[in-house]
Amino acid sequence: MKATIYHNPRCSKSRAALALLTQAGADVTVVEYPKTPPTRDALAALLARAGLTPRDALRTGEAEAGPLKDADDARILDAMVVYPILIERPIVETAKGVLIARPPERVHELL
């Protein structure tokens, strides 16, 4: 099975999800989104496929999230493209769907 993980190697949850995918034998494409953030359109499509709004996928604990408290989805999406650290991680995509793998064991839903 093919899988794509939008991964931050500094994140323990992201590392754990990647390990679970690998252990399951998935053919994993790793996108280190802090270095290579998705385009606005790609991120919007990914979130839509997951059934998530940009606010659902916003890491509210990050300093850059403060000004987004009352922002609409379009503004949050724009901020995520400029500051990819705002994107909740890891996001995993397979032919079965897309989800935020928190906890990491959620990847099993896509295998």
Is residue 58 domain-resident? no
- The CATH number of residue 26's host domain is 3.40.30.10
Res 98: pLDDT? 97
Count of domains for the chain: 1
Residues 6+ apart with CB under 8 A from 74: 54
How would residue 6 be classed by pLDDT, with cut points 50, 70 and 90? very high
Q: What is the pLDDT of residue 48?
A: 97
Position 80 in a domain: no
Model confidence band, residue 27 (pLDDT cutoffs 50, 70, 90): very high
pLDDT of 19: 97
Is residue 64 in a domain?
Answer: no
Angle formed by the axes of helices 40-50 and 73-82, to 10°? Answer: 120
72 located within any domain: no
Which residue range forms the structural domain that includes residue 106?
2-53+87-110
Q: Reply yes or no on whether 11 is catalytic.
A: yes
Q: What is the pLDDT of residue 32?
A: 96
Residue 29, number of CB atoms within 10 A of its CB: 12
Q: What's the pLDDT score for residue 1?
A: 92
* Catalytic residue from among 5, 11, 53, 102: 11
Render pLDDT for 51-83 as a digit per residue (tens, 0 to 9): 999 999 999 999 999 999 999 999 999 999 999
> What is the average pLDDT value for the chain, to the nearest integer?
96
Q: Do 30 and 18 meet the contact criterion of CB atoms below 8 Å apart?
A: yes
Within-domain flag for 71 = no
